[in-house]
Amino acid sequence: MLKALLSSINEIQSSSTDQVKRLLNWLNNKEPQKLSVIMEGLALKHRPTFNNNYLSPALNANYIAMASPDSPKSPTQKYFLTQFGKDAING
């Protein structure tokens, strides 16, 4: 467990995951948020770039999760920071 946590912390600190780190820091201590709210909070406008550089890597690493995983493309979908994501940023 500790080894996995240290590995995730090293991964989140690498230069290739700066966007994911920024997303996790923004989501920290927030209720689940809609995609549009997250993008606005991060001052991002280009959805494909957001999906490729921020959202997908964070979801794939289990740092964030969907509030309604059974309907991933729902317009009311919200995202939240998982305990794994909280542990990764709070060290």
Domain boundaries, the chain: 2-90
Helices (H) and strands (E) in the chain, counts: 6, 3
Whole-Å CA distances, 52 to 80, 90, 91: 18, 24, 25
pLDDT value at 13 more than 50: no
Secondary-structure class of domain 2-90 per CATH: mainly alpha
> Is residue 62 left, alpha or beta, with left meaning phi > 0 and alpha meaning psi from -120 to 50?
left
Distance CA 81, CA 54 (A): 13
Distance CA 36, CA 13 (A): 26
pLDDT tens-digit readout, 26-76: 999 999 999 999 999 999 999 999 999 999 999 999 999 999 999 999 999
